[in-house]
Amino acid sequence: MSSDTIVAVATAPGAAGVGVVRVSGSDAVALVAPLFKASDGRALADQPPRFLAFGKLFRPSGGLLDEVMVVRFAAPNSFTGEDVVEVQSHGGTYHLRELQAALLEASKSLPRPARLARPGEYTQRAFLNGKIDLTRAEAVADLIQSASSLAREAAVRQLGGGLQRSIEGLRVQTLGLLAECEAACDFPEEHEQVPGGADFSGRLEALILQLDALLDTARMGRMLSQGVRVALAGAPNVGKSSLLNALCNEDRAIVNEEPGTTRDWLEVRLAVQGLQVLLYDTAGLRDAAGAVEAEGVRRAWGLAREADLLLLVLDSSVPLQASALEVLRDAAGEILLVLNKSDLRAVWDLKDLSAALPSGARAWAAGADLKGHVAHVSARTRDGLDALMERIFEMALQGRSSQMLEAAALTQERHEHAARDARASLARARAAHASGAGVELLAVDLRAALDALGEIVGATPRAQVVEEIFRRFCIGK
């Protein structure tokens, strides 16, 4: 790990009453001390740890920078696990940059000058120094970037170590099974060829079931932390753009009677009952008139297939366009049929809609209760919009938002990938045990499962994964 002392503004840019510049590393106190004159006359090194000291901060040349509060944290009792000094001054982007520049300039007199911190480097050092695991490090970023109350609550729960404890529990059980296999390998005369018999098999099966339950949280965990992807799809002129504008209460999308107005997808972020919703308006589904529109239609099909919730918008005041219903065949997420222009006379009903559904969707309609998956709205009069927002929330989280906030959840794509790798390894171990395979094969699969679970919390980190996680942090955190 780098032994450099690092400096960065830790608060957001812009005018503010207070701003913070953070210094971390073995020379943190030596760097700030010559520039800080405490009002009580004590040197910075003599100030009690975690005690705010008031005084003045000067430039290396002697000019006054600001009246500040300074606090030092002695290693290992700091966020990074290193010596840390935080300077709390008046806010302001330019002013804080001046303080940061003065500290970097002053560090040139040290045997090893300080440098500007990289994005996420403070949190990365906290991880590398064993202060937090990777899931809690990611929770720091999620908390900073949270755009809804549910996202914030999910990040706070993960920051408290909920996911870490769940993963560590799985790792302890896996390690116990692996230890039995290793013992059988090292001392074959004292152990069965396949350890544990029915007891071993039962514990392995219980472990797989626990991992399955955790994997079931992945989709909703991602939606809580990153938002629900909701795609508006349908034929041209059914009112997709008008509906998007009505839902976000502003003219974000161009609305025109000319077909093909929307050529590319448009993203709008909404908060629905504390849940962040990423709402996508897409090009009308039809045979495109040109290459540009054709690309827009292709992207619309892609978003419709990948969305957590597909809102297929239909115009009930004109003859039903069965071609637009074809998108229902491949939708991976939840589906809600939105019958727009309810303020106009309808020329078809749910019976006609059911008959027009493509063959692959008729089974879905029969099993899901077609009427229960239809919403009537008018983008022009705003009738039915509140009910539509309620349906979006209910269908996205399937009525399980409260349970999700009480349980540990996989909130990142990498969590799910690693957990699925662990699950696959455990499944191979189960099959090997059932077939009476040698204990060496069992040990290989259990060790692979242990490593995969370790990747989630950082017990067996891959360097490129760690770098990617901290790259998305802001500088100063």
As a dihedral over the C-alpha atoms of residue 326, residue 330, residue 334, residue 336, rounded to 10 degrees, the angle is -10
Sheet holding 64-73, edge to edge: 36-38, 53-58, 64-73, 84-89, 19-24, 6-9, 115-116
CA separation for the pair 341, 315 (Å, rounded): 6
Taking alpha carbons only, the member of 127, 119, 12 closest to residue 81 is 127
Instruction: Flag whether 56 is in a domain.
Output: yes
Instruction: Flag whether 302 is in a domain.
Output: yes
SS3 helix, strand, coil % of the chain, rounded to 5? 50, 15, 35
Is residue 75 a contact partner of residue 118, using CB atoms and an 8 Å limit?
no
Instruction: Flag whether 331 is in a domain.
Output: yes
Instruction: Flag whether 424 is in a domain.
Output: yes
Taking alpha carbons only, the member of 360, 320, 357 closest to residue 340 is 320
Residue 117 is predicted with a pLDDT of: 94
pLDDT digits over 337-353, tens only?
999 988 899 888 888 88
Asked whether residue 387 falls in the same domain as residue 240, the answer is: yes
Strands (E), 282-388: 309-315, 334-340, 374-376
Asked whether residue 199 falls in the same domain as residue 257, the answer is: no
H/E element, 36: strand 36-38
Q: Which amino acid is at 329?
A: R
Asked whether residue 261 falls in the same domain as residue 386, the answer is: yes
Asked whether residue 374 falls in the same domain as residue 261, the answer is: yes
Residue 23 is predicted with a pLDDT of: 97
As for how many domains the chain has, the answer is 3
Other CB atoms within 10 A of residue 88 CB: 18
CATH no. for residue 203? 1.20.120.430
Pairing of strands 275-281, 266-272: antiparallel
Burial (CB < 10 A; 0-12, 13-18, 19+), residue 318, is middle
pLDDT digits over 147-196, tens only?
788 888 888 888 888 899 999 999 999 999 988 888 877 666 555 555 65
Burial (CB < 10 A; 0-12, 13-18, 19+), residue 408, is buried
CATH no. for residue 272? 3.40.50.300
CA atoms within 13 A on the CB side of 82: 28
SS (H, E, C) 447-463: HHHHHHHHHHHCCCCCH
Collect all residues with Cβ–Cβ distance below 8 Å to 435 and sequence separation of at least 6: none
Asked whether residue 200 falls in the same domain as residue 107, the answer is: no
Helices of type H across 85-161: 93-106, 121-128, 134-145, 149-159
Instruction: Flag whether 301 is in a domain.
Output: yes
Last residue of a domain, one of 117, 151, 184: 117
Last residue of a domain, one of 377, 402, 427: 402
Instruction: Flag whether 124 is in a domain.
Output: no
Instruction: Flag whether 477 is in a domain.
Output: no
Asked whether residue 284 falls in the same domain as residue 251, the answer is: yes
Asked whether residue 260 falls in the same domain as residue 369, the answer is: yes
Asked whether residue 284 falls in the same domain as residue 393, the answer is: yes
Q: Which amino acid is at 110?
A: L
Task: Report the phi/psi class of residue 106: left, alpha or beta, with left for phi > 0 and alpha for psi in -120 to 50.
Answer: alpha
Asked whether residue 252 falls in the same domain as residue 361, the answer is: yes
Low-confidence stretches of the chain (pLDDT < 70) are: 1-2, 186-197, 250-265, 283-298, 300-302, 360-369, 399-406, 461-462, 464-465
Sign of the alpha-carbon torsion through 97, 8, 147, 265: positive
Asked whether residue 263 falls in the same domain as residue 330, the answer is: yes
Q: Structural domain of residue 23, as residue ranges?
A: 6-117
Asked whether residue 391 falls in the same domain as residue 414, the answer is: no
Task: Report the phi/psi class of residue 336: left, alpha or beta, with left for phi > 0 and alpha for psi in -120 to 50.
Answer: beta
Instruction: Flag whether 284 is in a domain.
Output: yes
Is residue 117 a contact partner of residue 7, using CB atoms and an 8 Å limit?
yes
Is residue 387 a contact partner of residue 375, using CB atoms and an 8 Å limit?
yes
Asked whether residue 432 falls in the same domain as residue 384, the answer is: no
Other CB atoms within 10 A of residue 21 CB: 26
CATH no. for residue 96? 3.30.1360.120
Last residue of a domain, one of 402, 427, 454: 402
